Every structure is written in structure tokens, then in C-alpha cells.
Amino acid sequence: MNATLPEIIVTESDHERLTAILRGLPAQHAVAVLLRRELDRAEIVESMEVPGDVVTMNSQVVLEDPETGQRHHVTLVYPSAANFDVGRLSILAPVGAALLGLRPGQTIDWPLPSGRVRTIRVVSVDWQPEAAGELDL
């Protein structure tokens, strides 16, 4: 398990949108509490300044469970667009909240509602809207 949290970067627009979503959730919503902490500790940058390998909202990502080696191809999305059957992972899913702001090679230990802790590693960011010039997603 990682003793320290990895540095994360979040775009200003993602930060604003996610903060608005969090305002509408109960204060003790398990994932919302963790996501708030992540947003509070993140380095906030303008969309045009975010490095192209940072996981932002709507990024297509390959993640890995280092324990099992199992990999998943997911797109990190807002709750209304979530559909895990087609790889659209909600930011309000425990693993979704863990991905935000990470870069390839970074790992994070993330508590699950069951009380277990899951380690997640970002293998690659295959597509990021900011790097593609799509700032309105």
C-alpha cells in the first residue's frame, strides 16, 4: 500500500463542475467525501495547460490492478453518462474518483465501500479531451 498520495492535476473546469455535483450530494456520501479530498489537494490548472497524459474528465484510460495484473479500458465520465458495461466509469464510482488527476505509472490506494483498499495503477491515457482540443466535453 502507498504511504503517500500521488500528486494530481485537475483542470479548473473539471474542478468547478465536480464541485457543483458534490454540492448536490449528501455530506456523508462515501465516494463524495473522498472526491472532495482529492479536489482539495489537487493542483488546479487551466484546461489548455494540463499535460496530455493526465486523467481528466472524459479521458480514455487503461488502468491496472497491480495485485492481479488485470487491466481495464475505461472512459472517466460524469454520473449521467456512466455505463460500466461499455467502459464508461462514473467519477462517483470508487475507482473513478481515484483516477482523476493521475498520470501513467502512478498508483493510488483507494478505500472501497466494503472496507477493503484497492490499489490502482494508470497504465496509459489513450485519449484526453484537452489534448485533442475538445474543451466543451
* CATH fold for the domain made of 9-127: Chitinase A; domain 3 (3.10.50)
Distance between CA atoms of residues 7 and 105, nearest Å: 12
Q: Where are the domains of the chain?
A: 9-127
| Each residue's pLDDT tens digit, 3-38 | 588 999 999 999 999 999 999 999 889 899 999 999
> Which of 25, 110, 14, 108 minimizes the C-alpha distance to 58?
14
Q: What is the DSSP letter of 3?
A: S
| Each residue's pLDDT tens digit, 56-91 | 999 999 999 999 999 999 999 999 999 989 999 999
Write out the H or E segment, with its range, that includes residue 90: strand 88-90
In the chain the first and final C-alpha atoms are separated, in Å, by 34
| Each residue's pLDDT tens digit, 94-121 | 899 999 999 999 999 988 778 888 899 9
Distance between CA atoms of residues 121 and 96, nearest Å: 12
> Which of 117, 120, 127 minimizes the C-alpha distance to 106?
120
Residue type for position 15: H
Work out the number of other CB atoms within 10 angstroms of the CB of residue 9: 20
